[in-house]
């Protein structure tokens, strides 16, 4: 019997999920940044700033290599480049070619020359062991079919002393906030998706995918199980988003 996984609220064969996720992001790539602003009220910008501030990439010294997985349209990579004053060498990796193309176009427009690109699966990274000083992933890991494999690969490609940072929506634990967030997510976000992109179903999936993602404590445990140490997390915006950190020591 084929192994099953969640695609939003649907249970699908493991081998089908990635193709379905790819279809979602091919559909929304050109309007992805606009939708992020509309869905979060612009807060995603502050969350991403907080992520890169916690990473604190150096702006001098030996080369500092970063893998920005599920790098999408480049928001995290550009922030790391700015924060490091162009010192960081950043590989933007994404399984979706449409998203990478948007990133390339934005990078060329704004003059980022310290970026390279790789169309890559988080579960099977095409990079050598101990290649990177940091691995970042923002709002992408919940779309990976096998979280344990993605975390294991992140650990493998990091150098000793390397840092793992993951920014992700998370199930809200405070009852009142959870009810308000639930109503907004399921009633408003798919409607915005329909109006802005003509694609309600993709945004319905994105909302559902948040609900089935592990809570903060369970995800922290998974990061530890992959071998990372000093695992911790920070909450943002009443727990709507969590930023997890781990070190390869």
Long-range contacts of the stretch 237-242 (C-beta < 8 A, 24+):
237/43, 237/47, 238/172, 238/174, 238/177, 239/170, 239/172, 239/173, 239/174, 239/177, 240/169, 240/170, 240/172, 240/177, 240/181, 241/47, 241/167, 241/168, 241/169, 241/170, 242/167, 242/168, 242/170, 242/216
User: What's the predicted TM-score (pTM) here?
Assistant: 0.85
Contacts of 69 (CB under 8 A, 6+ apart): 93, 94, 120, 122, 125, 135, 136, 137, 140, 150, 154
- Residue 184 has what pLDDT? 75
- Residue 10 has what pLDDT? 52
Give pLDDT tens digits for 147-156.
Answer: 999 999 999 9
Give pLDDT tens digits for 36-59.
Answer: 676 677 899 999 999 999 999 999
Whether residue 13 is predicted with pLDDT greater than 70 in this model: the reply is: no
239 neighbors 174 (Cβ within 8 angstroms)? yes
Whether residue 9 is predicted with pLDDT greater than 70 in this model: the reply is: no
Give pLDDT tens digits for 176-209.
Answer: 877 887 777 777 777 877 776 676 777 777 778 8
Whether residue 68 is predicted with pLDDT greater than 50 in this model: the reply is: yes
């Amino acid at each position: 019997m084929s192994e099953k996984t969640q695609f939003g609220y649907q249970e699908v064969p493991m081998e089908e999920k990635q193709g379905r996720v790819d279809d979602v992001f091919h559909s929304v790539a050109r309007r992805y940044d606009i939708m992020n602003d509309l869905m979060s009220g612009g807060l995603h910008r502050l969350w991403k700033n907080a992520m890169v501030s916690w990473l604190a990439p150096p702006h001098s010294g030996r080369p500092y290599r970063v893998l920005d997985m599920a790098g999408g349209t480049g928001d995290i990579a550009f922030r790391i480049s700015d924060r490091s004053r162009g010192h960081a060498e950043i590989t933007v990796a994404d399984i979706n070619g449409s998203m990478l193309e948007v990133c390339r176009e934005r990078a060329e427009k704004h003059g980022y020359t310290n970026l390279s690109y790789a169309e890559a699966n988080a579960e099977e990274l095409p990079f050598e062991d101990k290649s990177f000083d940091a691995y970042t992933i923002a709002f992408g890991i919940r779309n990976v079919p096998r979280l344990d494999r993605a975390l294991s690969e992140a650990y493998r490609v990091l150098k000793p002393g390397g840092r793992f940072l993951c920014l992700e929506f998370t199930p809200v634990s405070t009852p009142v906030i959870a009810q308000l967030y639930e109503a907004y997510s399921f009633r408003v976000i798919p409607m915005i998706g329909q109006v802005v992109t003509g694609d309600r179903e993709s945004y319905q999936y994105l909302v559902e995918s948040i609900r089935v993602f592990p809570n903060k404590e369970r995800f922290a445990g998974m990061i530890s199980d992959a071998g990372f140490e000093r695992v911790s997390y920070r909450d943002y915006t009443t727990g709507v988003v969590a930023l997890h950190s781990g070190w390869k020591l």
